[in-house]
Amino acid sequence: MDLRLDGKVALVTGGSRGIGRAIAAAFAANGARVMISSRKADALEEAASTMEGEVAWHAANAGDDEAAAGCVAATVERFGGIDILVNNAATNPYMGPIMGIDRARADKTVQVNQWAVLRWTQLAYEASMRDRGGAVINIASIGGMSVEPAIAYYNVTKAAVIHLTRQMAQELSPGVRVNAIAPGLVKTDMARALWEPNEQGIAKRLPMQRLGEPEDIANGAVFLASDASSWITGHTLVIDGGALLSGFA
């Protein structure tokens, strides 16, 4: 199975840390030219410096339409087009049951986690993928397939990402494939409050007996970006160590 991405151009949002950083590094290691984006220039510069291959960066708030357009334009200008878009950027400004969230934090969560997925895809499609085709990978969550109180509204937006993936896959076929990945609990800084207090206890409840690492998700992203998955679209790939099997999400 050939998972190489030679000759491809990839744009990864939220690419300075965690899952996005691991995906970008894996793409670059497999031959893609990569643009990473997030809000902070210093974090992007540091992340890019650790990756092999041709990796550039452009600071942009994923939920800002103007910034998104600027990043897409910069990617096309630097690399000549976009073949792979990874909508990974996410935020979670509210912890707790859904009945306690306020409008401001709900709006911010939707803006970054849900609207940005659609907007960045629109921009990449209009700027490049309409003509040259491509693959879009949306980072969802198994939380979008289950119910739990800790990050309730975040999970609502991730459920929306799963449906957006199917809708966009239908609309953009056959030229552009659109798939999603639904990670389980991965050891990232963003999810630290969920795993750090009881990592061993949580791991024991999972069939695979460990929490996820960013590289576990990156491996799935490389497959979905590669020609090895050329007949797969509208699919959500669950990578969760068996969490959904055990009723733990």
pLDDT tens digits for range 6-21: 999 999 999 999 999 9
**% residues pLDDT > 70 (the chain):** 98
Separation CA 220–CA 181 (nearest Å): 8
Task: State which amino acid sits at residue 242.
Answer: G
User: Domain 9-239 is in which class?
Assistant: alpha beta
The predicted-structure confidence for 72-90, as pLDDT tens digits, reads as follows 999 999 999 999 999 999 9
- Per-domain boundaries in the chain: 9-239
pLDDT score of 195:
61
The predicted-structure confidence for 92-107, as pLDDT tens digits, reads as follows 999 999 999 999 999 9
The predicted-structure confidence for 18-54, as pLDDT tens digits, reads as follows 999 999 999 999 999 999 999 999 999 999 999 999 9
The predicted-structure confidence for 187-236, as pLDDT tens digits, reads as follows 887 777 766 677 787 888 889 998 999 999 999 999 999 999 999 999 99
SS (H, E, C) the chain: CCCCCCCCEEEEECCCCHHHHHHHHHHHHCCCEEEEEECCHHHHHHHHHCCCCCEEEEECCCCCHHHHHHHHHHHHHHHCCCCEEEECCCCCCCCECHHHCCHHHHHHHHHHHHHHHHHHHHHHHHHHHHHHCEEEEEECCHHHHCCCCCEHHHHHHHHHHHHHHHHHHHHHCCCEEEEEEEECCECCCCCHHHHHHHHHHHHHCCCCCCCECHHHHHHHHHHHHCHHHCCCCCCEEEECCCCCCCCCC
pLDDT score of 189:
76
Positions marked active-site: 154
Contact call for residues 97 and 156 (beta carbons, < 8 A): no
